[in-house]
Amino acid sequence: MLVGAEHELPYHRPQLFPQVLGKGKINADKLHVHDAEWFKKKHIDLRLGTIVTQFNLERKVAVLANGQAVEFKKACLATGCRARRPQTAGSNVGNVFYLRSLRDVLGLQEILETEKEIVIIGGGRVACEVAAVLSQRPKINVTLMHRGKGLLARYLDEESSVWLAEYYAKNDVKTLLNETLNGFEGRTVIRNVQTKSGQRVAAQAAIVAIGADMNNGLFLNTPLNYPAGTPVNDYLETEEKGVYAVGDIALFPDRIFGGQRRVEQWHCAIAQGHVAGANMTGRKRIKWEYTPHFATSVFDLDFDFVGDFSKPATRVEVTGDRDKKKFIVRHFHLAALTGVSLCNQSADKVEAAKTEIREWPREIKRYD
């Protein structure tokens, strides 16, 4: 049984912006991971538009919103995240958008027919992607407001991140950098975005992309809930036997960098689904092993980020040529290579970066 709160068939979340907002046309079918027939053939009892309201670990029962109690022998938690809301005035006013689901994106798509002045708040992956997509639509004016001086700053060196912000400005995105959000003005719908420095930016809609919070309400007061995520072992099983966790909420042992890691990445979530599914049903247990990697595309720039970007680099090495839009940034923490950011590089180079990250002799370098 697959239970999900959304009404749509499971879909490719990273494709929401290009497929729904991109051309101004909606092609929801293209988003589906599988069609309805596939689920039938696999004998999957699909319960869409259904919220799980209680999850009783002791009795091994999940209660659905319609009151039905479902007993289980094994369960997998994949509740994901929701877009973070800022603690500022006006954050619930009309036309302030938080984009996570197809429904959220369709809501934005609808108002774009009439509203043309859009302010986006954030400087990470989601903010950059939506700004690039919207700026390529006719008659829409996009302002990207970010508290830093560059974009994707976590994954790039300072110069490349400033270069990227300039690239947005060249591509018709008005950038408002070194500015922090103070709040939204407007009685029923937004009129202005206020910055902490006292600027007021006229807006008919705002998109807030400042990170995500885990959907952990279902198991808040259980051993499955830790501030850093839901801890799992090498087989993606939680400390409750028979209960697994995958995707954005799973906090798994990191065999490359040590400690535990939680990632909000599409391919990781998919691959974990395969491993947890096999471990829940198969005879042979599969170990979860993962080299962190995600890709994002903005304008004509295809980025790949491989490794751990959670700590700021103490040194970076940049090779290639930014003006030719082809470069690689290698991040080091002390002597250890921790991350490789690639701009417009071949699949071979991305694979080579993964191998380099995996095989870097961390134990030895730690004592350098």
Ligand X SMILES: Cc1cc2nc3c(=O)[nH]c(=O)nc-3n(C[C@H](O)[C@H](O)[C@H](O)COP(=O)(O)OP(=O)(O)OC[C@H]3O[C@@H](n4cnc5c(N)ncnc54)[C@H](O)[C@@H]3O)c2cc1C
Q: Which of 126, 144, 156, 337 binds ligand X (CB under 6 A)?
A: 126
Q: Can residue 14 be called a binding residue for ligand X (CB under 6 A)?
A: yes
DSSP symbol at 24: S
Strands (E), 281-348: 293-298, 301-307, 315-321, 326-333, 336-343
Strands (E), 1-153: 2-3, 46-47, 52-56, 61-64, 69-71, 75-77, 81-83, 96-97, 117-121, 141-145
Q: Can residue 279 be called a binding residue for ligand X (CB under 6 A)?
A: no
Please give the Cα distance from 239 to 221 (Å, whole number).
14
Q: Which of 115, 117, 264, 356 binds ligand X (CB under 6 A)?
A: 264
Minimum CB–partner distance for residue 188 and ligand X (Å): 26
Nearer to ligand X, 102 or 329 (CB): 102
Minimum CB–partner distance for residue 229 and ligand X (Å): 11
Q: Can residue 207 be called a binding residue for ligand X (CB under 6 A)?
A: no
Q: Angle formed by the axes of helices 125-135 and 158-170, to 10°? A: 20
Strand partners, 229: 226
Q: Which of 48, 61, 70, 81 binds ligand X (CB under 6 A)?
A: 81
Q: Can residue 261 be called a binding residue for ligand X (CB under 6 A)?
A: no
Helix H or strand E encompassing 176: strand 173-176
Minimum CB–partner distance for residue 202 and ligand X (Å): 25
Strands (E), 222-364: 230-231, 243-245, 250-253, 260-261, 293-298, 301-307, 315-321, 326-333, 336-343
DSSP letter for each residue of 54-86: EEETTTTEEEETTS-EEE-S-EEE---EEEPPP
Q: Can residue 31 be called a binding residue for ligand X (CB under 6 A)?
A: no
- Choose one: 9-17, 166-174, 219-227, 280-288; the region binding ligand X (CB under 6 A): 9-17
Minimum CB–partner distance for residue 205 and ligand X (Å): 16
Q: Which of 3, 189, 271, 286 binds ligand X (CB under 6 A)?
A: 3
Q: Which of 123, 247, 292, 307 binds ligand X (CB under 6 A)?
A: 247
| String of contacts with ligand X for each residue 52-71, x by CB under 6 A | x-------------------
Minimum CB–partner distance for residue 334 and ligand X (Å): 28
Q: Can residue 342 be called a binding residue for ligand X (CB under 6 A)?
A: no
Q: Which of 39, 72, 235, 266 binds ligand X (CB under 6 A)?
A: 266
Please give the Cα distance from 333 to 130 (Å, whole number).
31
First to last CA, the chain: 52
Q: Which of 2, 46, 51, 301 binds ligand X (CB under 6 A)?
A: 51
Q: Can residue 80 be called a binding residue for ligand X (CB under 6 A)?
A: yes
Neighbours of 276 (CB within 10 A): 25
Q: Which of 109, 192, 194, 215 binds ligand X (CB under 6 A)?
A: 215
Please give the Cα distance from 121 to 207 (Å, whole number).
6
Amino acid letter, 7: H
Nearer to ligand X, 4 or 86 (CB): 4
CB 121 within 8 A of CB 183: no
Minimum CB–partner distance for residue 51 and ligand X (Å): 4
- Choose one: 107-115, 264-272, 305-313, 317-325; the region binding ligand X (CB under 6 A): 264-272
Minimum CB–partner distance for residue 217 and ligand X (Å): 7
- By CB under 6 A, the count of residues binding ligand X is 28
Please give the Cα distance from 206 to 191 (Å, whole number).
9
> Contact positions toward ligand X, by CB under 6 A?
3-6, 13-14, 16-17, 51-52, 78-81, 99-100, 126, 215, 218, 247-248, 264-267, 269, 294, 296
